[in-house]
């Protein structure tokens, strides 16, 4: 398969009173249409890596290609535009605006893009329908259950029709039954929207649904076998 995301010799070091290297000289690819799970112990750098992929943090060394575009070379303005057009984000802590309705929250990426409310509203309504929340569109985010809020987050992430979905523990704060429903929804949306997805997770159940799983440990990535018992260095 043709790589759509290519990470080349990526490194991240935090400098303060002392240096802390999270990882160095890391390279891997994510194939077009793939669902890639990133696993690892707390503090291994999974969220840091996801933030780098999303252009929300800058690497110390290396390149991050989305197609032909190296996002590490983009200006802040161009990077923000690229994120808005090409990427959708789902975080463990729902970053919804509680004073706004579900519909208004989903409209936000389109408004940032420059669309008018009249243009954005029907697109947001359609996306809420895709996640099963048409009847809750007028409810404020704070009035929704945890599972409903995560559905709104998914709708907001995909309303702009991005190519890439980046998710950080998308079921981490949900009970088992609700988490299973969100997993089903993630799988369906990935397929229907022809996404390439990178998902940070501690959940073996979520990882098993992905096409490939990488474990981040000791500054390196290791590919996990389907059985989750044996790994080999990437």
What are the residue boundaries of the structural domains of the chain, listed by start? Answer: 3-233
Band of pLDDT at residue 49, cut at 50, 70 and 90: very high
Task: Give the per-residue pLDDT at 94.
Answer: 63
Is 120 in contact with 110 (CB distance < 8 Å)? yes
pLDDT of 151 > 90? The answer is yes
Cα separation, 53 vs 6, whole angstroms: 10
Task: Give the per-residue pLDDT at 15.
Answer: 87
Find the mean pLDDT for residues 71-91. 95
Task: Give the per-residue pLDDT at 229.
Answer: 40
Find the mean pLDDT for residues 36-50. 90
Which residue would you say has higher pLDDT here, 65 or 227?
65
Q: pTM value? A: 0.90
Residue 13 corresponds to which tokens in the numbers above? 């070091």
Find the mean pLDDT for residues 185-197. 95
How many angstroms separate the Cα of 27 from the Cα of each of 37, 54, 63, 94, 202? 16, 16, 9, 30, 22
Task: Give the per-residue pLDDT at 3.
Answer: 62
Condensed to tens digits (0 to 9), the pLDDT of residues 217-233 reads 877 788 875 434 434 34
Cα separation, 176 vs 206, whole angstroms: 12
Give the fold, CATH level 3, of 3-233: Rossmann fold (3.40.50)
Find the mean pLDDT for residues 53-71. 95
Residue (of 103, 89, 192, 165) closest to 140 by Cα position:
103
Which residue would you say has higher pLDDT here, 232 or 170?
170
User: What percent of the chain is modeled with pLDDT above 90?
Assistant: 73
Residue (of 71, 63, 47, 50) closest to 11 by Cα position:
63
Task: Give the per-residue pLDDT at 126.
Answer: 98
pLDDT of 165 > 70? The answer is yes
């Amino acid at each position: 398969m043709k790589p759509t995301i290519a990470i080349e010799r990526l490194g991240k070091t935090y400098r303060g009173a002392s240096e802390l290297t999270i990882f160095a000289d890391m390279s891997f690819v994510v194939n077009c249409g793939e669902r890639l799970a990133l696993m690892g112990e707390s503090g291994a750098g999974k969220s840091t890596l996801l933030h780098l992929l999303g252009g929300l943090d800058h690497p110390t060394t290396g390149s991050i290609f989305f197609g032909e575009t190296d996002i590490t070379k983009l200006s802040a303005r161009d990077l923000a535009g690229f994120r808005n057009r090409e990427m959708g984000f789902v975080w463990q802590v729902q970053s919804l605006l509680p004073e706004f309705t579900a519909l208004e929250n989903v409209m936000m990426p389109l408004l940032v893009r420059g669309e008018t409310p009249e243009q954005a509203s029907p697109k947001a309504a359609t996306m809420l329908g895709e996640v099963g929340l048409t009847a809750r569109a007028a409810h404020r985010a704070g009035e929704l259950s945890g599972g409903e809020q995560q559905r709104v987050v998914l709708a907001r992430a995909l309303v702009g029709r991005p190519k890439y979905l980046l998710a950080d523990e998308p079921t981490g704060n949900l009970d088992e039954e609700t988490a299973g429903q969100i997993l089903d929804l993630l799988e369906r949306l990935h397929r229907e929207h022809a996404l390439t997805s990178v998902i940070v997770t501690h959940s073996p159940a979520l990882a098993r649904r992905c096409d490939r799983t990488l474990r981040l440990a000791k500054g390196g990535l290791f590919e996990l076998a389907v059985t989750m018992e044996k790994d080999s260095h990437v």
